[in-house]
Structure 1
Amino acid sequence: MATEEDLNKILFAIFIIASVYYIHKFCFETDIKKIKGIPQVPGSIPIFGHLLSLGEDHATTCEKWWRKYNLPVFQVKLGNTRAVVVNSWDEVTKMVTKTQTALIDRPKLYTFHGLISSTQGFTIGSSPWDESCKNKRKAVGMTLNRGALKNYLEMFDLESYCLVRDLEPGSRNGKADVFIRPFIQRLALNTTLTLCYGIRMDDAYDDLLREILTVGSAISLLRSASENLQDYVPLLRYLPNNEKNKRSKELRDRRDKYLNTLMNKTKTMIEEGTDKPCIAAAILKDEESKLNNVEVNSICLSLVSGGFETIPGTLTSCLGSLCTEEGQVYQEKAFEAIKSHYPDIKQAWLDSIQEEKIPYINAIVKEAGRYYTVSAMSLPRKTIKPVRWNKAVIPPNTMVLINAQAANHDVDHFGPDAGTFNPDRYMNEDGVTEKEIKGLPHQSFGGGPRSCSGQYIAQRLIYACLVRILSVFKVVASEVEPPNTSYVDYNQFKTALVAIPRDFKVKLVPRDPELLQEILKDSAKRTEKFYR
């Protein structure tokens, strides 16, 4: 018969075994077991896995690991989460096209999905794949497809005019340096606010506009794995005085406040019969709509939080490259291309919002999207079924990370000058016609059913702005505050989900001051009735 001492020994042994088991599980195990056939890069440590060795800039670190270990596809441990990282152009293309239905899901993250999104629902891009996500993507797809662009010509006209209108006085006829990013931010945010709520703000430093931009950028930081380790190391969530949790709830409340303000303004305009055509009004007035209030808010939130970051990041950085000494060559080619298609610059202004027919401007738009990969590591995907990858099988519920920055700068696909800004890569040798490209020109919009819903409107807006700016100004880099044009270092916050370009100034030298004033006067008269 066992004595009390024997029972105590047995219980102690059980405690030791259980402790060793759970310590081992906590320190070394991941949600998905190590995938056979896909190499794991060195550097994993207990509890954190590769998180610490990845540093602040995951995309650049993974790009270096790919070249160092000659592994275009490898697996890493992000705390207790196993992820497959895809880097090269060929492997990324194969992943987002041939296996697109298997990678249609998104993983849920503790901070963004559990805290920040607990009141307004998930954005379309971050939403796990379910019936609600299908309905939201369908609604947005009908609103933002290429055929629907004709519905937004007045908006394109107004916002691109306002951009040039407000840049012109600050430049003092090309004698003063000006910051361009605040005005491009307003253009992008007004575009999405008009689309969603039928509301716009004319002042680039409007309090509400700045609040939306400030909160959105702060949330972007909290969505990044490098900035927010508690998404992958659960123990960190329960530390006393957790500042990440406090910050997340504070930003959620501030975002709720301005989203409710915007929605209430739209509802008031509907009641008064003064509403403008927009997504919120269309859905709110459609009794047949299958979308509930949370889904309507989610759609509007998706567009507002997505467009205001990516469009300014791309357009601002593009102008940064064009204003440099090297970029002046491309800028003048663009100006000559505009003149060859539109001998009358006034006509170029009018047509820039309706069509994208100047090949060299299209080449610049493509190169800006490729070179400045504003979302360097695309939103994570999650497999919904087994994915056969060469000799390996990636199991369901595995996180897959698409390194868009690495793919967009793959020298094996784009050539030895992949690390330089060069729009000519998208032109034929005659310098007049565009190359015919099979597949995607770059990976910045993603591919398959989870690609960016707003890509067509983003391209048209950037195209129109480039035509209008380059047709009336020569853009010259400031000697005191020039742009940083490194495709890595141009981003001032490496941990942000979407790049925020470092501030720089430019000189805007009017090509024909009298013509510029005529164009601005005509545009003011033409657009004064829009969204006032």
Structure 2
Amino acid sequence: MELLEVLPPDTFKLLQYIILLPIAGLAIYLIQNEVTRYRSRIKNLPGPLGWPVHRDVIPAETYRRWSFKYGPVFQIQLGNTTAVVINSARAAKQLFLGQSHAMNSRPTFYVFHKKVSKAVTSIGTSPWDESCKRRRKLAAGALNRTRVDTYAPILNLEAREFLKDLYSACRDGAVEIDFRPAVKRFSLNLSLTLNYGTRVSSVKSLTDDPLLSEIIYVEGEISKFRDTGKNYANYIPLLRYWEPVAQLLGLDTQPKNHAADIGRRRLEYNDILLEKLKDEVRRGEDKPCIQGAVLRDPESATLTREELISVSLSMMAGADSNQPTLSWACLLLAHRPDIQEKAYSAIRDAGVLGLPSNAYASTKVGYIDALTKEISRYFVVLKLALPKATYTDVTWQGATIPANTMVFLNSWACNRGTFLNIPPEA
């Protein structure tokens, strides 16, 4: 107080302004922000009013529980962004199939689209436009029933190699093992072989091969940047101005421009793999694969290099995202030998064991189909799926969801609702 008393009046007033102006500015910003959030709400669509901050470990489970109160379709507010969450299979069918023409776009995110994928976006993360339409059409041609049948040897080989890795590591069940390296190799090989026709020769290669190590690391980082529940700068613009300040003060543990660097590195190894495949196609030495089918399609000439890589990015995304489901499947079977026995009996009784080994992948066994679907239901790969965006207005029970609204399909709720005693409507 003594210091303030000896300050000249003008200096004291200036000091007051220096302290009060930023506080007043922040208060005005927060008030305007809340008004904007309120006005962006969708009329006649239920949903929580939205707290300034609400953090949850598993958002999909929170939304599932909120559906008890607000119904199968409700709105939420993620910072400044209004989003719609669909929590039941019935509602998903009515919206995604009944109004499919209006639900085929994707939202853009500040972190992922402005930093990581500024140059090229995958098909699964691209907003709907003519370029996306061409890419989807060519990818669909490479994934039709006839084409998929040609990939059966790949599935057969990778499944056998996966089982061989586990069997070899456990020494016929004599020792405990960490199955995660085998899962990682299997998952990565499915993406590499199905998309580029190349593969990881052994589990050891995951750490010894620089290119494979790079793919594993970068795809893991991509999944973090693509996470819709953790990158708060996507929804709160004020945080975007904080990032350079945090870098300057040393409060950010990530290297400067880390997101952009990860995006650049992803393009580099996809470019290497694409060039290798193009050479194989020219020599007629390529193996059946999705990108090879795209390159052989005459319409591929209409795609730019970036659009071709975009197709690859979509297929490579599975290298990281499906590992948790595979891991949970291994844990389930390890704890349930009765399921293993029943599955083996079903395979044996169907006569599969008497067929040539290269026919296994395309053989249908009812119990195995049911088991894999149940594992996918219970241990869903992406709890909130890949977010969509409305391309035009969408209607739902008296509410009009405007174009460019983010939409989450809560696969967690759709798959587990009945099991966890959600009301019958859901």
Q: Which TM class, normalised by the smaller chain length?
A: 0.7 to 0.9
2:21 aligns to what? Answer: none
Which amino acid is 2:80 matched to?
N
Which of the pair has the greater relative contact order for Cα pairs under 8 Å at 6+ separation? 2
Q: CA deviation at 1:175?
A: 0.8
Structure 2 residue 202 is the aligned partner of structure 1 residue 211? no
1:404 aligns to what? Answer: 411
Structure 2 stretches of 5 or more lacking a match? 1-23
User: Matched residue of 1:118: which SS?
Assistant: coil
Partners of 2:228 and 2:369 in 1: how far apart? 34
Structure 1 stretches of 5 or more lacking a match? 1-16, 46-51, 419-442, 444-532
2:179 aligns to what? Answer: 180
Within the candidate set 374, 395, 416, 2:381 is matched to 374
1:6 aligns to what? Answer: none
Which amino acid is 2:363 matched to?
E
Structure 2 residue 367 is the aligned partner of structure 1 residue 355? no
Instruction: Check the 8 A contact 2:223/2:321 in 1, yes or no.
Output: no
Within the candidate set 42, 51, 71, 1:44 is matched to 51
Q: How does 1:186-197 map to 2 (within 5 A)?
A: 186-197=185-196
Partners of 2:182 and 2:26 in 1: how far apart? 58
Q: CA deviation at 1:23?
A: 4.6
Which amino acid is 2:240 matched to?
R
User: Matched residue of 1:296: which SS?
Assistant: helix
User: Matched residue of 1:105: which SS?
Assistant: coil
Partners of 1:219 and 1:105 in 2: how far apart? 21
1:446 aligns to what? Answer: none
Partners of 1:279 and 1:190 in 2: how far apart? 14
Spell out, residue by residue over 1:187-234, the C-alpha distance to the aligned partner (whole angstroms, 9 max, x if none): 232222223222212122423223212211211111123220001111
Instruction: Check the 8 A contact 2:47/2:74 in 1, yes or no.
Output: yes
User: Matched residue of 1:178: which SS?
Assistant: coil
Instruction: Check the 8 A contact 1:32/1:81 in 2, yes or no.
Output: no
Partners of 2:267 and 2:72 in 1: how far apart? 41
Instruction: Check the 8 A contact 1:31/1:82 in 2, yes or no.
Output: no
1:72 aligns to what? Answer: 72
More helix by share: 2
Which amino acid is 2:362 matched to?
Q
2:13 aligns to what? Answer: none
Partners of 2:38 and 2:363 in 1: how far apart? 49
Structure 1 stretch displaced more, 276-285 or 107-116: 276-285
Instruction: Check the 8 A contact 1:31/1:80 in 2, yes or no.
Output: no
Spell out, residue by residue over 1:397-449, the C-alpha distance to the aligned partner (whole angstroms, 9 max, x if none): 211111110111112xx57599xxxxxxxxxxxxxxxxxxxxxxxx9xxxxxx
Partners of 1:415 and 1:238 in 2: how far apart? 42
1:253 aligns to what? Answer: 264
Structure 2 residue 330 is the aligned partner of structure 1 residue 330? no
Instruction: Check the 8 A contact 1:89/1:410 in 2, yes or no.
Output: no
Partners of 1:28 and 1:211 in 2: how far apart? 45
Partners of 2:39 and 2:153 in 1: how far apart? 50
2:60 aligns to what? Answer: 59
Which amino acid is 2:401 matched to?
I
Partners of 1:81 and 1:417 in 2: how far apart? 28
Q: How does 1:258-273 map to 2 (within 5 A)?
A: 258-270=269-281
User: Matched residue of 2:85: which SS?
Assistant: strand
Partners of 1:166 and 1:348 in 2: how far apart? 21
1:293 aligns to what? Answer: 305
For normalisation by structure 2, the TM-score amounts to: 0.83
Which amino acid is 1:212 matched to?
I
Summarize the Cα distance change of 1:179–1:24 in structure 2 as closer, same or farther, 3 Å threshold: same
Spell out, residue by residue over 1:296-322, the C-alpha distance to the aligned partner (whole angstroms, 9 max, x if none): 1010111012x2234433233223212
Instruction: Check the 8 A contact 1:54/1:61 in 2, yes or no.
Output: no
User: Matched residue of 1:407: which SS?
Assistant: helix
C-alpha RMSD of the superposition: 2.8
Q: Percent of counterpart pairs with the same letter?
A: 34
Instruction: Check the 8 A contact 2:142/2:293 in 1, yes or no.
Output: no
Partners of 1:374 and 1:315 in 2: how far apart? 9
Spell out, residue by residue over 1:242-278, the C-alpha distance to the aligned partner (whole angstroms, 9 max, x if none): 5477221221132123222212322444565544344
Q: CA deviation at 1:286?
A: 5.6
Partners of 2:29 and 2:267 in 1: how far apart? 39
Q: CA deviation at 1:111?
A: 1.1
Structure 2 residue 348 is the aligned partner of structure 1 residue 339? yes
Summarize the Cα distance change of 1:133–1:225 in structure 2 as closer, same or farther, 3 Å threshold: same
Summarize the Cα distance change of 1:56–1:205 in structure 2 as closer, same or farther, 3 Å threshold: farther
User: Matched residue of 2:177: which SS?
Assistant: strand
1:85 aligns to what? Answer: 85
